[in-house]
Structure 1
């Protein structure tokens, strides 16, 4: 495979901006706003430059690159800690059970409560793969490279990991969940609110969102039907997250009702199963498919490679893989089965 994952740089702006315009909206972490993207890339640069091995309000942006063809066809992000400078809001879906002895009936009402329960978690997000490249395992490479980066820089991330998935929208970009609930308090359409949130943050939510629990039965059926459901284009992403061990714990996005999935960081499959290996041969690879990651911070590289086990000594990789990772014999890598 000629593609690799590497940290984004300001020179990648145009490629990332073009991908942002292809998302179709609802991607808060990848808005098609030039000034916001420039700011995010600057924030990412600062995160990769940070010397303290501590968790903080960091945003690490990566790109999927074919260095020989000079093509960028995907991007993803990792956040060190959410809810640091602005509150991280979610709705939590709970059940209130009430018994009426006069009627002889039990009533169970679902309720949505505005919470900041997930504050302090680390987050994976902003994953986008160019529509022309959605085959051959590149989406998997993008997604799982983030976990190898976390493993290699474990002290910079929290004990809980989360991912938010875009909720259900119609072809015009409108959200039935937003229209039924938050839209009644903000006097703006979902696309307008989503764009505003991506650029300005969440303080306006704290200012205007009702703090009292919402009875789900008061919402129209179209809104109830999409609560906790991902956008059709996000179903594959949800499956990959579930394969890593992230689960839906009844937290949903306050804008579009999309699901938020969580897991203890060290229980994420790629983090748990990846091991340190030594590259003992560079020349010919093998038939075992593995994800390999090498380097720290700005030097981080990740590829999907075909390797060969050399007894207990380590791994043999092809020259192309070594070039993509920018390593040679004797280098240490993180390796995990495909």
Structure 2
């Protein structure tokens, strides 16, 4: 299985566009719009081309080395909210008591918030439907954390991940229809497409700033608050395995959960080990592990058989070494599945 994670290139535009058309909507970080995708690729190239920390977006792709086809993608944002506000709804509760009635009332509320500004973000993960086996989704997801570990100074101490919320069969969002849609005069699909291409400043311009009592929302909207799209449940479990938790924030468009973790506590970041390759020849023994090597534009990640030695060095199977382009004496980072 010769699949390799590598930085995106300008000629990845068409395969990214083809994958974007398969997302089914609500996938802001992978819009089915060629100019928007081209702008992402250009922004990613700029990020991979400098050592200076900024408002960076790194776009990685999964490539089948046998066919040369791009079959998946994921993204990492170094710092959200630097150029325009990053909005979320913060979930809270207001408790009030009436002595005359002898009753206590607890009202769930949603408050527009920019609390998550300054965090790093992982997102934009999409794997072609024909490749959803063999651990490729996990390879895509965890390659982001290996990249963060190898470029730690470029990222914040907190990482978030926004999961797509519930979308109905018609491509609409019950949460959007019950709340924001009433203020914007546009469908969820229109708003989502506009946000993907132009950013979310229009939210700041038009979204009501006062808290929203969820009891005033239709039942269809209340029922999806903080719930991921059915296709995102596996992604949510992977995030939870890495140590992410859904605390009190949801997406302002579709009500999907925002997951949070401390960067250095993310499982892959914490458990990965650095090593020097002692040999890349011989028998194909060792454990199947995720291996990353290179920095920035030369970053690569893939599965390989890694044998750990008593002197701290490792061996890598010939096929894995060839896939990653590593040789004896090279430095790698590796982590178990």
Taking structure 1 as the reference length, the TM-score comes to 0.98
Q: What does residue 93 of structure 1 align with?
A: 91
Q: What does residue 238 of structure 2 align with?
A: 240
Deviation of 1:312 (Å): 2.6
1:299-314 residue pairs with structure 2 within 5 A?
299-314=298-313
Query: Are positions 1:124 and 2:122 aligned together?
Result: yes
1:259-298 residue pairs with structure 2 within 5 A?
259-283=257-281, 284-298=283-297
Task: Confirm or deny: 8 A CA contact 2:97 2:105 kept in the other structure.
Answer: yes
Q: What does residue 43 of structure 2 align with?
A: 43
Deviation of 1:318 (Å): 1.5
Deviation of 1:72 (Å): 1.1
Residues 97-153 of structure 1 show CA distances to partners (whole Å, capped at 9, x for unaligned) of 111111111100000000000000000000000000000000000000000000000
SS at match of 2:223: helix
Q: What does residue 165 of structure 2 align with?
A: 167
CA separation in 1, counterparts of 2:33 and 2:263? 31
Q: What does residue 73 of structure 1 align with?
A: 71
Task: Confirm or deny: 8 A CA contact 1:285 1:316 kept in the other structure.
Answer: no
CA separation in 2, counterparts of 1:222 and 1:16? 33
Task: Confirm or deny: 8 A CA contact 1:75 1:127 kept in the other structure.
Answer: yes
CA separation in 2, counterparts of 1:148 and 1:307? 16
CA separation in 2, counterparts of 1:97 and 1:304? 51
Q: What does residue 143 of structure 2 align with?
A: 145
SS at match of 1:123: strand
Deviation of 1:10 (Å): 0.3
SS at match of 1:226: coil
SS at match of 1:102: coil
Taking structure 2 as the reference length, the TM-score comes to 0.98
CA separation in 2, counterparts of 1:16 and 1:286? 36
SS at match of 2:203: helix
Q: What does residue 212 of structure 1 align with?
A: 210
Q: What does residue 30 of structure 1 align with?
A: 30
CA separation in 2, counterparts of 1:67 and 1:329? 22
Task: Confirm or deny: 8 A CA contact 2:145 2:268 kept in the other structure.
Answer: yes
CA separation in 1, counterparts of 2:260 and 2:284? 36
Q: What does residue 112 of structure 2 align with?
A: 114
CA separation in 2, counterparts of 1:84 and 1:232? 31
CA separation in 1, counterparts of 2:58 and 2:312? 33
SS at match of 2:316: strand
CA separation in 1, counterparts of 2:89 and 2:9? 34
Query: Are positions 1:321 and 2:320 aligned together?
Result: yes
SS at match of 1:35: helix
Task: Confirm or deny: 8 A CA contact 2:91 2:111 kept in the other structure.
Answer: yes
CA separation in 2, counterparts of 1:320 and 1:21? 33
SS at match of 2:292: strand
CA separation in 1, counterparts of 2:65 and 2:91? 45
Deviation of 1:317 (Å): 1.2
| Coordinate RMSD, CA, aligned | 0.9
Deviation of 1:194 (Å): 0.2
CA separation in 2, counterparts of 1:191 and 1:285? 50
Task: Confirm or deny: 8 A CA contact 1:73 1:129 kept in the other structure.
Answer: yes
Task: Confirm or deny: 8 A CA contact 2:304 2:321 kept in the other structure.
Answer: no
Task: Confirm or deny: 8 A CA contact 1:285 1:308 kept in the other structure.
Answer: no
Q: Which moved more, 1:29-38 or 1:281-290?
A: 281-290
Q: What does residue 331 of structure 1 align with?
A: 330
CA separation in 1, counterparts of 2:10 and 2:293? 22
Query: Are positions 1:8 and 2:16 aligned together?
Result: no
CA separation in 2, counterparts of 1:15 and 1:148? 24
Deviation of 1:12 (Å): 0.8
Task: Confirm or deny: 8 A CA contact 1:74 1:130 kept in the other structure.
Answer: yes
Report the count of equivalent residues.
336
